[in-house]
A and B are shown apart, each in its own frame.
Chain A
């Protein structure tokens, strides 16, 4: 079969191949691959310049503002202690506020036991669940730090994570920073293994690139930091399923920069089953782009408004094009292939797409390993590469379903992720 394919491929001229693969080339891997190659060249150039001028490769930590870490949680009694242990004592001017959002499993008591023997840890409780956005807002009332970091209750931080995360705040123009969210339960199942690769590719490398270009659109709610005054001006989080993306956008609209810090790392558990992964991605996808960027933040594209900025518009355009428009282009292209190409050739085209995708992913994998700070572990994660194409195809289907559901039915307003009382009162953008 392979030889037949090679024979078919060699019979095609380059123009014919471009004509057949236009949908794939326009929307997916080339965008990431080309940009990442440029990104590596940029770094190479910068390092060479620094070496030539005798500047040290890394600078010591010189900025030490006071930090409050907010840890909102609901029924996280089993994991909260390990999260607190990974945080406490890792930074000199640190206070930790745990928000028990009406837990029924004793999470508040478990956290209180830790707080009793560890100064600088405060536990606040609410009698009824109100959701993560309002939990964070409640905990912020007790925060005294200049920088407020939000961490999920089921995560743990890597070495010097807080130190790394706060250094960009030396620049007064920086309003928020986000760390790299990586997978902890990598080898629990094939599903988690693939997600681990996806997080390395899209978060660890992808967000570095977007941050360099000034187009970063999200600081993860699971691990992100903001200046305290920005949160006070913005009123904290809004009750959106993707409240982290919404808050990042509001911070940008205030005129601040947001920066990604790749070596400030936080490890979290990802859904181990396909069903749970699907539910999670439906929640992320339908709320993030359509609800936020086509409705709530549509003004980013209104160039006639006084607050319009080119960079925010490019962020908006990037998200709309590569998450919505590109999706439709892919489906249109697939439909065109099915209608115009004989069935016999269709298989070779799909095989060509697969190997092209694999080639592009190999380049991306090389970039991941070049920047990796845990090479052995990351090499093991990258061994799942041959399965990334079917995995991304599956996610594409989920994304399509999510976007269609949000466009026509506003399905994000029905998610059980948010408590009923809050869901009923949400603003319908």
Chain B
């Protein structure tokens, strides 16, 4: 059985790390990636209360651009799943293709569930096999958190973003790590595709400087008009029937009526929703917004606790 490589030992020295047994396991796990102690005493840290599973499994290397390296995926044999990490025996040559892997385990219903791990230790295990242990990447750093992967507004780009490029998301979806859940459409700026905000405004020019005219209803002749059309010489005179000195309540009532734009002079009953792009500051009517499609994805995430035996 091959032991830890000498190269690794030299690295430890170069880094000024004490690679002798008894050093804190934490240092070894995160700095050297290998355990240099007794190979038989395999580190137990990631395997606290682990469950051994004889189900199909695989490990997909994650490239630096976060895309899956499907061409170099590793087929697993046995896997032990713990609360903080797992140990997997895979068919592998000399070196693991990457330290960051997406490990998939087939569940009872036949669907693979995945979890991203960082390899902390690996050792040969028979010819053409390697056994490695990895700890689960914490939720702040993993590619796909639990739940649904949905685009969220990015404050920097002011667009909807998954946090990953669409190509990366599609690549993981293609191999089944993500399952398309639903499809939706969102309104974006027709000029740059940025996210807009909306407010009521003039349908003609988009201005927000809107005054609402007061309407006067004269009961005797059923005339309805703007209050300013009734004002004459300090009193109210009906422009239709010329009745003078109208008294509120007895002769007429007033209510809010037409809207008037102070910028372009438009009058009408209803304002329109006007969009303002947060990215390029373009103002546009809501009806001119472009529809951008986006998908949500379900992350087929492995839950180690679900595999633990019931106590």
- Structural contact, A422 and B219, CB atoms closer than 8 A: yes
Q: Which of A379-426 contact B (CB under 8 A)?
A: 421-422, 424-426
Closest to A426 in B: B220
Do residues B215 and A128 form an inter-chain contact, with CB atoms below 8 A? no
Indicate whether A137 sits within 8 Å of B253 (C-beta atoms), given known contacts A123-B269, A130-B217, A235-B241.
no
Contact A122 B222 (CB under 8 A): no
Please pick, from A128, A142, A235, the residue contacting B253 in the complex, using a CB distance under 8 A.
A128
Give A382 to B11 CA distance when docked, in angstroms: 108
- For the complex, is A213 an interface residue (Cβ under 8 Å from B)? no
Q: Given known contacts A134-B217, A427-B220, is B269 in contact with A128 (CB within 8 Å)? A: no
Residues of A within 8 A of B48 (CB): none
Q: In the complex, A422 Cα to B223 Cα: how many Å?
A: 11
| Complex contacts, A134 vs chain B, CB 8 Å | 217, 219, 222-224
Q: Are A137 and B255 neighbours in the complex by a CB distance under 8 Å?
A: no
Asked if B225 contacts A141 (CB within 8 A), the reply is: yes
Interface string of B204-234 (1 = CB under 8 A from A): 0000000000010101111111000000000
- What's the nearest-Cβ distance from chain B to residue A414, in Å? 16
Does B269 contact A235, Cβ atoms closer than 8 Å? no
User: CB of A131 within 8 A of chain B?
Assistant: yes
A128–B257 CA distance with the chains assembled, in angstroms: 13
Are B222 and A137 in contact, CB atoms less than 8 angstroms apart?
A: yes
Q: Tell me if B223 and A137 are in contact (CB < 8 A).
A: yes
Kindly supply a per-residue 1/0 record for chain A positions 133-150, scoring 1 wherever the CB is within 8 Å of any chain B CB and 0 otherwise: 110011001100000000
Chain B's closest residue to A423 (CB) is B219
A238 at the interface (CB under 8 A from B): yes
Q: Kindly state the separation between the CA atoms of A174 and B215 in the bound complex, as whole angstroms.
A: 31
Interface residues in B6-37 (C-beta closer than 8 Å to A) = none
A236 on the B face (CB < 8 A): yes
B262 at interface (Cβ–Cβ under 8 A)?
A: no
Question: Once bound together, how far apart are the Cα atoms of A278 and B255, in whole Å?
Answer: 35
> Is B54 an interface position by the 8 A CB rule?
no
**At the interface, yes or no: A239 with Cβ under 8 Å from chain B?**
yes
How long is the Cα–Cα vector from A237 to B270 in the complex, in angstroms?
A: 24
Query: Contacts of B258 on A, CB cut-off 8 Å?
Result: 141-142
Q: Indicate if B154 sits at the interface (CB-CB under 8 A).
A: no
Asked whether A237 and B225 contact (CB < 8 A) given A128-B253, A141-B258, A421-B253, the answer is no
B241 to chain A: closest residue by CB: A235
Q: Are A138 and B224 in contact (CB-based, < 8 A)?
A: yes
* In the complex, residue of chain B having the shortest beta-carbon distance to the beta carbon of A136: B222
B222→A238 contact, CB < 8 A = yes
Instruction: Please tell me if B240 contacts chain A, counting CB pairs below 8 Å.
Output: yes
Q: Which residue of A lies closest to B250 (CB)?
A: A425
Distance between Cα atoms of A426 and B249 in the complex (Å):
14
A171-187 vs B: 1/0 string, CB under 8 Å? 00000000000000000
B303 / chain A contacts, CB cutoff of 8 Å: none
Answer yes or no: B268 CB below 8 A from chain A CBs. yes
Nearest B residue (CB) for A133:
B222
Shortest C-beta distance, B249 to chain A (Å), equals 8
Verify A122–B224 contact, CB threshold 8 A.
no
Contacting pair B220 A137 (CB below 8 A): no
A330 interface hit (Cβ, 8 Å): no
Alpha-carbon distance between A142 and B270 when the two chains are bound, in angstroms: 10
Evaluate whether A236 and B223 lie within 8 angstroms (CB atoms) in the complex, with A122-B269, A142-B258 already known: yes
* Cβ contact within 8 Å between A237 and B219: no
Shortest distance from the beta carbon of A296 to any chain B beta carbon, whole Å: 12
Of listed B215, B253, B268, B269, residue having the most chain A CB within 10 A: B269
B251 contacts the other chain (CB 8 A): yes
Distance of A127 Cα from B253 Cα, bound (Å): 11
Q: Which of A124, A126, A142, A421 contacts B219 (CB 8 A)?
A: A421
**In the assembled complex, how far is the CB of residue B165 from the closest CB belonging to chain A, in whole angstroms?**
37
Whether B222 and A236, one on each chain, are in contact in the complex, defined by CB atoms closer than 8 angstroms, is yes
Provide the bound-state CA to CA distance between A126 and B253, in Å.
11
Task: Collect the chain B residues with CB atoms within 8 Å of residue A235's CB.
Answer: 221, 223, 240-241
Q: In whole angstroms, how far apart are the Cα atoms of A238 and B241 in the complex?
A: 10
**Binary A-proximity of B239-257 (CB < 8 A = 1, otherwise 0):** 0110000000111010101
List chain A residues, Cβ under 8 A from B257: 124, 138, 141
CB–CB A425/B224 < 8 A: no
- In the complex the two chains form, what is the Cα distance from A235 to B249 in whole Å? 22
Contacts of B269 in A (CB 8 A): 122-124, 142
Residue of A nearest to B221 (CB): A238
CB-CB nearest in chain B for A137: B224
A134-B224, A138-B215 are contacts. A425–B255 as well, Cβ < 8 Å? no
Contact indicator A138/B220 (Cβ below 8 Å):
no
Residues of B within 8 A of A133 (CB): 222
In whole angstroms, how far apart are the Cα atoms of A128 and B253 in the complex? 9
Residue from B251, B255, B268 within 8 A of A126 (CB atoms): B255
Contact B219 A425 (CB under 8 A): yes
Chain B contacts of A138 at CB under 8 A? 215, 217, 224, 257
Known: A126-B255, A421-B253. A142 touches B268 (CB 8 A): yes
Also in contact, A141 and B270, with CB within 8 A (given A127-B255, A134-B217, A425-B250): no
Q: How far is the CA of A427 from the CA of B242 in the complex (A)?
A: 13
A128 and B240: CB pair below 8 A?
Answer: no
> Residues of A contacting B221 with CB < 8 Å?
235, 238-239, 427
A141 near B219: Cβ-Cβ < 8 Å: no
CA distance A425 to B269 in the complex (A): 28
Which A residues from 197 to 225 make CB contacts under 8 A with B?
none
By a CB distance below 8 angstroms, the chain A residues around B217 are 126, 130, 134, 138
Q: Across the interface, do B222 and A237 meet the contact criterion of CB distance under 8 Å?
A: yes
Contact A425 B220 (CB under 8 A): yes
| C-alpha gap A236/B223 in the complex (Å) | 7
Residues of A within 8 A of B251 (CB): 425
- Which residues on A sit within 8 Å (CB–CB) of B220? 239, 425-427
- The answer for the CA separation of A426 and B241 in the assembled complex, in Å, is 12
Please give the distance in Å from B226's CB to the nearest CB on chain A: 8
Q: CA separation between A183 and B215, bound complex, in Å?
A: 36
By a CB distance below 8 angstroms, the chain A residues around B250 are: 424-425
Closest-by-CB residue of B relative to A237 is B222
B224: contacting residue among A141, A243, A426, CB under 8 A = A141
List A contacts of B255 (CB < 8 A): 126-128
Contact mask for chain B residues 258-272; partner A; CB cutoff 8 A; 1 contact, 0 none: 100000000011100
Smallest CB separation, A172 vs chain B (Å): 25
Give 8 A-B contacts (CB < 8 Å), ordered by A residue: A126-B217, A128-B255, A133-B222, A134-B224, A138-B215, A243-B222, A422-B219, A424-B250
List the 7 shortest-distance A-B pairs measured between CB atoms, nearest first.
A425-B219, A235-B240, A133-B222, A134-B222, A138-B224, A239-B222, A124-B269
B residues bordering A, Cβ < 8 Å? 215, 217, 219-225, 240-241, 249-251, 253, 255, 257-258, 268-270
